[in-house]
Structure 1
Amino acid sequence: MYVHSIEADNTTRYPALDQLTDNPFHLCEDHSKDSSMLTLASAILSDEQFYIIFLFLIFTSQLINICSIVSNSLSIAVFLKLGFSEPSNISLTALAICDFTLAVLFTWNNLCFWLTYHNVRLPFHAVNVTYLTGGVQSAFLSTTVAWITAFISFERCLCILVPLKVKRLMTPRGTFVAMLIIILLTFCPSFFTYIRYKFEWVFNPYLNITILDTIPVNSELAILFENISIVTRGVIQPLFAFSIVLICTVLLVVQLRKISSWRMSVTSVKSQKIQPEENLASNSSAAKTRIPQKEERLVRMVVAITTIFIVSYIPTCIMAVCYVVFDEFNHFGVYRRLFIVFIYIISSGQPISGSVNFLIYYKMASKFRSVFRRLVHLDRQA
């Protein structure tokens, strides 16, 4: 999630880490009227600590992004081979496509920040241009991944609680429409950002050339739209989707425990040939909620996917809360260094989720594993 803010005065902020105090990597007293906040920010994260963490995170993030791009490419290829007769294949394919695109955007963002750090002279302002060419899209896709994961977990819960009704609704066409609606609803708030900011060629006195930069549109309506966009896509949508995933995952885990308990009791009865009467009541509820083994495997796979997602998405939720609580927690605020650190933790954590998903599919889905092995010629059968 990239919640980014560009200064309204549009002062040229071109990379020159040793000279320009308003570079996003540095702490500048002009960004805060409260000197105590500056002192606190420096105490929390000093310059030396920031640069060590920054270099480590950007290197780690790039490696993880490459792994995510490769693994999600393989997942998409396998799902295309499997076809979309099963609704779950559609939602999982949409998830893989979003994870793949998110990893590509994170790679672009990392490249621009890396060039900024090394003071590479470019015909565009790397940090500012990145906001409209990668940052906004990253925030949009990050929220989309969260909502698709929420949809998958919610759909599995309904399949267990009301299986007959859900099977009539969860058709391939219905799932495809649901994916389009999710993408549309998560994209709409990001669209308002392009009302607030625009690209423009500006003169850079440090390079003595004209470069492409991003400048704000300082109208009240544009500022209002930007605030709505940031709060919606950066706070409300991620936290709400995360809550749905968390609740549904807990319900699925509880249900799987009931099913496992029931299976163990049935196995015990078969071995003893007699079931004590006191166990009948305790097993009746689990017996009523038992599901076919194929559905159970799918539920277990969804639980694994959502659990990894929950762990990787926690930094995004923390960042959303900090953005609401601390006014200076943004790209050009006094806590900018902490903000950038959170960005790179997120850009490392979320691609991990996308990378691990491929291993989950391979381990827990026999059809996926079989198609993948044929695709990479590990199996000889056609």
Structure 2
Amino acid sequence: MYHSSEEETTHSSPVRPTTEGPFQTWANQSIDPSVQSLAAGFLSEDVFNMMMMILVFVLQVSNITAMISNSLNIAVFVRLGFAEPSNISLTALAICDLVCGISLIYMWFLIYLWEPFLPFNALNVSILTGGGLWSFVSRTCAWITAFISFERCLCILVPLKVKTLITPRTTLTAMLIIAALTVCPFLFSFFNYNFVWVYSLELNATILDVAPNDNEYSILIAKIVFVICGVIQPILAFFIVAVCTVFLVVQLKRVSQWRTSVTSAKSQWEDNSAENHTSNNASATQNRISQKEERLVRLVVVIAVIFIACFIPTCALLFCSAVFDEFFVFGIYGRTFLVCSLVTFLGQSVSGSVNIIVYYTMASKFRSGLRELLRLDPEEEKK
């Protein structure tokens, strides 16, 4: 890491524009010795470095996997077309997962590979730019998942009206609105921080770094934005997904029980009159339609369950950041925060990388489209 002189790095704000970066800033602050000892004892430097190396490696593998899988997802959905509203929302989800992977790869490659050759503090700048972009897009992913889950609930609650309520145009409009509402954290990360020039003793040159605004209104706005966009938005999306998932699981169980009872009743009517036979044929047609809808609901439920499992660490991190003042990247517990942040990054990266497996396993059209895209020339798969 680069180092700057005291004259260049003295500011009234807790975040000083030091070229040492946030990994060391927390240890350099003037804090109570007992608190500093507790923080260091909770996560020693050796343990911290080892955990960071392991998590960064696993995260990058997951990010590369997410980039490849979501690129394939987008290509397949484009080939399938957007006549179905669900294809639009799933494509938007794949695009967001792809951007998340790119932003994390950019951030960590900038820190670990390119930093010695750059005329700026790679760690601080990459956290502001790449981390801010990831923050925005990950919340967009959460709300798109919430929209997909809610859409499936509407299909069950109002099946006769859902085709007029959820159209390709309304779905596209919803995706744009979600993106507009979740872009706030990314924009305010720039409004509340400044790019400043500091002197580096190692390079014997002035380099670019990041410093917060000392304006009291900027600090107040930053707190408000953090609470609304950083805590309420993602947790509310998580809650919506959880509630919709429970509802869909209950409905799937009821549909399964209903289908079992209908199948049992039909077996007793096989030898009835031709009129009943015609009625049974109509009932069988309705049953096939319900099975098609059921497969899509099951697909959404699996996606939602994966999202919930992978988003729990993010909710826990947001809660701790809101409750404990020093639990942030520049705070006393910066080491713990960074490790927990990597865990949340990894969870959401895994969530975005495994969707292709879900689609391939549970969606016959996607499976055929992917095999055709990869020129595997499979035999026609029958459901």
By the TM > 0.5 criterion, same fold?
yes
Q: What is the one-letter code of the residue matched to 1:323?
A: S
- Does structure 1 retain, via aligned residues, the 8 Å contact 2:19–2:209? no
Deviation string, structure 1 residues 168-205 (Cα, Å, up to 9, x no partner) = 11000000000000000001243222221132333223
Q: What does residue 277 of structure 2 align with?
A: none
Structure-2 separation of matches of 1:9 and 1:326: 15
Indicate the SS of the match to 2:327: coil
- More displaced, 107-116 or 49-58? 107-116
Q: What is the one-letter code of the residue matched to 1:156?
A: R
User: Which of 207, 210, 234 lines up with 1:211 in the alignment?
Assistant: 207
Q: What does residue 239 of structure 1 align with?
A: 235
User: Which of 177, 193, 199 lines up with 1:197 in the alignment?
Assistant: 193
Q: What are the within-5 Å matches in structure 2 for residues 152-231 of structure 1?
A: 152-231=148-227
Structure-2 separation of matches of 1:133 and 1:348: 18
Deviation string, structure 1 residues 95-129 (Cα, Å, up to 9, x no partner) = 0000000000011122234359xx73531101111
Cα deviation for residue 272 of structure 1 reads 5.0
Structure-2 separation of matches of 1:200 and 1:32: 23
- The TM-score normalised by the length of structure 1 is 0.87
Distance 1:162 1:37, change over 3 A: farther
Q: What does residue 120 of structure 2 align with?
A: 124
Q: What does residue 13 of structure 1 align with?
A: 18
- Does structure 2 retain, via aligned residues, the 8 Å contact 1:160–1:289? no
User: Which of 282, 301, 307 lines up with 1:303 in the alignment?
Assistant: 301
Q: Which has the larger radius of gyration?
A: 2
Q: What does residue 374 of structure 1 align with?
A: 372
Q: What does residue 353 of structure 2 align with?
A: 355
Structure-1 separation of matches of 2:198 and 2:103: 25
User: Which of 28, 38, 41 lines up with 2:39 in the alignment?
Assistant: 41
Indicate the SS of the match to 1:163: coil
Cα deviation for residue 346 of structure 1 reads 1.4
Structure-1 separation of matches of 2:229 and 2:52: 25
Deviation string, structure 1 residues 34-84 (Cα, Å, up to 9, x no partner) = 333323322321112111111100000000000000000000000111111
User: Which of 240, 246, 251 lines up with 1:250 in the alignment?
Assistant: 246
Structure-1 separation of matches of 2:227 and 2:41: 28
Q: What is the one-letter code of the residue matched to 1:40?
A: L
Distance 1:61 1:29, change over 3 A: closer
Q: What does residue 20 of structure 1 align with?
A: none
Aligned residues: 355
Structure-2 separation of matches of 1:289 and 1:157: 19
Once superposed, what is the RMSD of the aligned Cα atoms? 2.5
- Does structure 2 retain, via aligned residues, the 8 Å contact 1:61–1:348? yes
Structure-2 separation of matches of 1:121 and 1:373: 43
Q: What is the one-letter code of the residue matched to 1:245?
A: V
Structure-2 separation of matches of 1:372 and 1:259: 30
- Does structure 1 retain, via aligned residues, the 8 Å contact 2:241–2:308? yes
Q: What does residue 279 of structure 2 align with?
A: none
Q: What are the within-5 Å matches in structure 2 for residues 64-83 of structure 1?
A: 64-83=62-81
Identity of aligned residues (%): 53
